[in-house]
Amino acid sequence: MPVRPVTITGEPVLHRRAAVVTEFDDDLRTLVEDMYETMDAAHGVGLAAPQIGVGLRLFTYEFTNDDGVPPRGVVINPSLTLSKISGADPDPEEEVEGCLSVPGLSYPLKRAEWARVQGFDVDGQPVDFEATGWFARVMQHEYDHLDGKLYIDRLNDRWGRRARKHIKNEGWAKEGLTWMPGVDPDPFGH
């Protein structure tokens, strides 16, 4: 399966709601395998279909967790139920998040500590599990992509200003920019 280019903020598919998956077929299986390959090559803990230019509601993940959930999986047409998100400022050492579509940047962000994830696997079978801590963060991050949101859209004013300035300085926020995992330098230094 081929590794696909990762879209960078500004690509329209990243900033609009993705479409519901209606066909659980070989094309979907191929897409999921490509997403796993791309996620692995990029050293990511998750990858949403819009991040490889496909506007469909699914994401893959690779995250060892304490919740009894397989550490590698796919969730198609997910829904999330979240615990309350604290109104406190995010901890700049403990709550730092990054994104393959905002390569090389990381900023503090508050997320819910618990999430219930429901959806389907690649064969159309129901998926239903709870995620806590960082695993819950991964689920929220990837789910946001399906609604056209990047983590930088959720930053508080202080960190949001820094992110917007950095994105402007990089020349991003325009259509057509990608990076290729396994070919281009790893923006997170893995």
Q: Is 142 an annotated catalytic residue? A: yes
Amino acid letter for position 170: E
DSSP H or E stretch at residue 60: strand 58-62
* 43 belongs to an annotated ligand binding site: no
Q: How many residues does the chain have?
A: 190
* Spatial CB neighbours of 170, under 8 Å, sequence gap ≥ 6: none
* 15 belongs to an annotated ligand binding site: no
* 166 belongs to an annotated ligand binding site: no
* DSSP sequence for 75-129: EEEEEEEEPPPP-SPPPTTTSEEEETTEEEEEEE----SEEEEEEE-TTS-EEEE
Q: Catalytic residue among 11, 37, 97, 142, which? A: 142
List the catalytic residues.
142
For the annotated binding site, the residues are 99, 141, 145
For the annotated binding site for Fe cation, the residues are 99, 141, 145
